[in-house]
Every structure is written in structure tokens, then in C-alpha cells.
Structure 1
Amino acid sequence: MQTTFARFAALRGETAFRGVTSVCSAHPWVIEAALEQAKADGGTALIEATCNQVNQEGGYTGLRPADFRDLVWSLADRVGLARDRVVLGGDHLGPNPWKSLPAEAAMDRALAMVESYARAGFTKLHLDCSMGCAGEPAALGDSVVAGRAARLAARAEAVAPGATVYVIGTEVPTPGGATEGLDHLVPTAPEAVLETHAVHERAFREAAPSAWERVIAMVVQPGVEFGHEDVAIFRPEAAAALSATLRRLPGLVFEAHSTDYQPGQALRELVRSGYPILKVGPGLSFALRETLYGLDAIAAILSPGGDRLFDAMEGLMLARPQQWRSHYAGTPDEQRVLRHFSYSDRIRYYWPEPEAVAAVAALEQKLAGRTIPPTLLSQYLPRLAERVADGLVDATPKSLAIEAVRDVLRVYAGACNGAI
């Protein structure tokens, strides 16, 4: 069985990079789509959970790392993908969920989280200690960030020695999308990359020397991001100096966050330029939501007067605004549109809620046993209508949603230059 380190070492070849799609989602249908895609490609499914989604206290999904692992493995068994072709990753692991606490209290929780991830068999960990905790500045110095990350690595090594690869670096787009205009984006400065690498090497060699040899990637800002209604497309010429720093960092690659909504050519250029780990999350759940809302419109035509999925989600988000209120500004009408249709897709936080699960199940029930007229599929789900007509996809909500997510993943697969 190929080790996680060997898989990621293969990303950097002698003359070219090979890419891998990092799927950052806890939605079972999105995960199932990623596993189906890996099965079709003949490669590895890299499925990652974030510190806020999944942690030892349950996160916003209610899942602990072992629960998330069991979910992924059960879905892999269902689609017929061998478990040894699944790599589990943890994203932004650090004190962020507890940053309102004093630093040591927050780090104690972060250490417990990393331990729970390592015990559950997660073998790719992005360590992110960039955020200030109570009484600290919002942005911390490199030495503090690196020292805390090394402590997390040491805890993972104590639990699962030699099993894990690590990603360092914290100059990343805002998780889940920007809340401001994108005209300010500047790729990470080459000198900042070299300094971050040097500071982390010193910290790791002191606190977790065995882990340093398995640091396989660094997170940087190559100039990609998405806002509520626009996307900053990768321009390789703007990031040329940043990309060139990899010549001075043997064995390392860059990890690109927030690659959602990038066109295929931009994704290919990211891989070619040294950013072969392509993280995507909101772009996948956006495709799932588009499909569910298309089916919601179809169901309303076939059975007028019933409850609508849109209305159920609107009521849920208004009742519990914590996940969107600080992200969506504007008038009440503008906020309503953003709640459902923003690229940042804050609605994804609500799909695990019991009310949302029940609303989706009700939509499935409305359409169960009914033949959806091809004219309605053409109207509301035109990209999928022909495949339904050809018998390639079943006209059920789950099948259509998974196919829509796979359409996004196929673009990533086309950019990755061969499965790992």
C-alpha cells in the first residue's frame, strides 16, 4: 500500500507537477461524488475536514474526527472505492475554533484536536496557528506561528509516528471566500515564503524533528479568490516570482486554497506553476445547492402549493444567522439573495441542520416515483437534461446532485495531469 508521503512526493516530478483535488466538504453527497470521481479516475480521493466542521467537540457538523472517518469510509465502501485509495486530511488545524480564549487554553484544545485527528487516521494535516487569541494581536509573528505549529506536529507524531504529512503556511484567502473587493489581491512575496520556511524549519527541528522531513507543502496566496459575486482568476505571470521560489525549496510544493470557480485553464496553470494541491469546497456545495433549487422549482410546478425547500432554508438561516450575518452586508433584499446565491455559499453550514435534512427529504419524497418531464429538466437543469434523456443519470435528487458536483470535479481532474 502506497504511503501518504509517497503519494504527495509524486506531485513534484523532475520536469512537471501532477495535481490532486482536495475536497473540503462534510456533505455526504459531495463526499460521495468525490469518491465516485476518484474511482473513475483510478486515483486517490483526498477528503479534508476543517477545524470548524469537525473537531473533538463535534464542530458545526456534530462530527468528531473518528465519526467523519467512518462516514467517508462507509461511503467509499458503498461506491466500491478501496479504503487505501482514500486520504483523509485536516485543514486549518489550530486554535481558531477557540481563539476567544487565552492562548494556552486555546492551544490545549488545538493539541487535543490534532491528537484526535491523528488517532482517527488522518494523514495530511494543515497546521494553522496564524490567528491571535484573547489578548493577542489579530496577526502573529512568524516565530510564534511556527512554534505553535511545531507543537501541534509533535503531538501528532506522538500519536501516529511517521504516518502523517504536514502542510505549513498561513497566508491564505479568507476561509469560505472574501468579504471585500478582490482588486487588492497580491501574490505572496518570495522573501516571505523563504522566511516562513526557514522559521518553521527551526521550530520543527527543535520541537518535532521527525516531522520536518514530511512537510510536503506550504500554503501561499497565488492570486486566487472569490467573493460574493466575482472571482479572481489565476494569472501565472503575476505569480511567476512566487512560483520560482520552489527552485530553492526541494521536495516542496505549494497548496492553493479557495480555487473554487476557477476555469479549467486557470486550474491547469496552477498545477503547472507549482500549486498542485487544489482545494475546493464551496464551489462543490454551490453546485449541489443549484441542483436542489432547480428540483425545488420543478416540484413546485408538478405539485403546486406544497412547502418549498427555498422557504425552509430561508427560515432556517433567518432563525440562526450566526453563519452568515457577519459575511453578508447590504439591504434586507440584498442579504436575502446572498444567503442563497453567493459564491461564498454560507448556506453550506446549514445543510446538516435537522430542519434542512427534513426539507431535502421532503423534496425527495415529492419527486419519488414521478417522471420529471424533459421540458422541465431542460428549463431548470439544462446541463443534466441530456444525460437523463440518454439514461446516463437517474432523475432523482441525489443522483442529479452528485452528477452536478462531479461536473465540477471533472474540471479539476482535467487539470491534475494524471491521478496519484
Structure 2
Amino acid sequence: MDTIQEKRLDEQGLKLHFIQSKKFKTITFVAKIKAKLDKETITKRALLPYILKQGTKTYPDRSALQLKLDDLYGAVLTADGGKKGENHIITIRLEFANEKFIPDASNVMDEAIRLFSEVLFHPNAGKNGFDDAVFKREVGTLKQKINAIQDDKMSYANMRLIDEMCKEEAYQLHVHGYEEDLNSLMNEDLYNYYQQMLKQDEMDIYVLGDFVEEKVKHIIKDTMQRTVQQGTSTVNAVTKKPVSEQQEIIEKQQVQQAKLHIGYRTNTTYQDDAYFALQVFNGLFGGFPSSKLFINVREKNSLAYYASSRLESHKGLLFVFSGIAPDDFEKARDIIRLQVQAMKDGDFTEQELNETKDLIINQLKETMDHPQGLIEILYQQVIGKRLMTPTELLDGIQNVTKEEVVQVAGKVEEDTVYLLTSEGGEQGE
């Protein structure tokens, strides 16, 4: 793999990350805007990406903005929000053609950065709020998204698991916000919060591609003027809650397929040296079709329509997802528990260990082969407050031993079992 070099600069309240690569024929700009997860702000932050991508001062509606993107040789603009650990991150991305590959094109970079800056700092707004029609329409869009979770039973079960497992922790907060807060949100309040966000949040700007750094830095300094309020704490300390008592939550709805989701505390995060071993643990346990969950719960015992696991490595959580027949709850739960115990006992071979490490490394390399995937991996360092180059990440996985996996497995504690099952009698999807 090519060595990936990241240059970091602080300019005008922005943390700039320049990543040179001749692999791509595009330039990718990404803004990451980070604040602590907070019930008071989560709904506003969930709504803002929808509004920011609807138009700017110069291009005040979707069609004008799209025409400009088309004019930039089919540039693509996206904006969304998400949570990592106990932080909420708004992400704005612009990917556009590198002018080096376009005959007679000379101002694509300049115009693209100016457009990106306008989306971020100069949305379509007046003195007291965003465009009112846009505000109302996007409130409706977000409401639909919140309500759609009720219909997607897998997403609903995972949300409910986190509700129960992370009570009174910031991580419990719903990434799409809350309908009751949306109903009472005023346009002016959202606009005031947006202006506050620009002054207070941690803002990282990534530029990836084959570009002249001095030129890009000059345009950024010219277009992205930011006044930062000092002394504003925007990051939660990660809550590490010991498992005092395991809990089992059973909820009944009209479903044919039950959802059995289990949450564990790993007591290991991205900052820890054991992070690499945790990744390998997850790969062996439930991360791939060759893993224990898939083979033993789904294949051998035919207990699950699907069975897999996923890490939240900045919060130190592990989630197991499975879809089962309602009558198989206890049997499936117990077999999942047996797989956790097997990992603690070191019940896997050196060959399985090496095959899993290869799978993880190949997966990471595939992610790094895409501009946005590479930026996501690099941004992990900012969230986790740990410098780790992509090469160090791959080497760290490669060097994990069986003993280290067993050690990290020994720290994993079951916290919450959540079952969404049928009400009995007449059943429907």
C-alpha cells in the first residue's frame, strides 16, 4: 500500500488536514464539525445538515445549487450527522474533478472551495433565520426519518437496546433527534445555534487528492474566515460505566421475526493499546461470515436469519444483532453467550486468527481505496485523541497474538439483552 502522509495545519480556527494522493482523479473536501452529545442540541444538529445542503447565499435553492455542481463537472455535495463515542459530528463533503485532468479548465479548484465555504458559512438565510420554506420542508423531512425507525425493526431494536443500556449516558441520545423537540423548534433558534456552532465547535477540514498545497491554503484563508470563541469545552469525557447488574428487556409488537440484540461493555477503546486485539476479537466473534456467531448461531443451529457483531470503539461497546423465530429466544441467547465464553477460553485456532487478520486488513485497505473511507479512518485519530497512521493501524492488526485476543475477550462484559418479539396470536410484519 502507498504510504499515506497527512499534513496538519491550524489556520483561522480551522484544523486543516492535507493528504496528497495521485491515486484519485478527484479532489475531496470534507468538513467535520464536532461537539459533545447533548439533549439540548441534538435535534438542532440533526436538522442542520438537511438545511445546509439546500442552498447558499449565491445559489439560494436546490436547483441553483445543483446547476453549480453540474457546472463543476458533476461535483457531488453531501451533508449528514452521526455520533462517534460521546460526540456528535456534522459532516459536509464535496468531491469534484481535479482540473489537472480536464483540458482548458483552470478555476475548478478555486470555484469548488468557494462553493464549499459558502455551504458551510453562508447558507440561504436572512438576519433572523434560514429561508422559511426550506426550514419547514426540512423539519418535515427529518420527522419522516425519525418515524421511519419505527418501521425498520432492526434499527428500532438497536435504538431501544442503546436506550436501555446507556441510560443517563450521552451515548443514549438519538442521532436523528426527537420529534417533540422538532415540533417546538423555531427557525430563529436554529439559526442562532448554527452561528454559535461556527464559533464554538471543533472544525476539521480534510483535503485529499493531487493538489498544490499553497494554492489551496491561500483560497481557504481567503474564503473561510472563522472567529473562534476561546475556552469553550465541546467534548464529553467518555463515560465508562461498570456493569453492576445484567438486564433483560423484552418488548412485544406485531412482528413475525424477533430481534435479539445484546450489548456488551468491552472496557477497551481506540485509545488503548489493546484496540488492535479488540478488532481481531470482533472479527473472530461476529464480524464476518466465517465468525463464531454466523457459523454456530445461524449455520449449525439454524437459530438466526442473521447474526453478527459490531464495535463502537470510541465508547467501548460491542453489539450483537440477530433475527430469530420468537420461540427460539432462550436457545439463541444461550448459544450467543457460549460464543463469548469460547472467545474468553481461546477456543480458536492460529489459522482462524490469521485468516481473520487478513480479512480485517483487506477490509481496511478497501476502505482506504475510497477518498471518503480514507478520511473517515484518519478522522478516527481526532475522535480517539491518538495519532495512528494507516500503516500503523494495519501493522497493529497484523501483529496481534492469540494471547492478546484472549486477554481483551476477558474484559468483555454482557450488559443488556434486548428482545423485540411477537405479541402472540395474529402476527404481521
> TM-score band, normalised by the shorter chain?
under 0.3
Structure 1 or 2: more strand by fraction: 2
Structure 1 or 2: more helix by fraction: 1
TM-score, structure 1 normalization: 0.27
Higher-Rg structure is 2
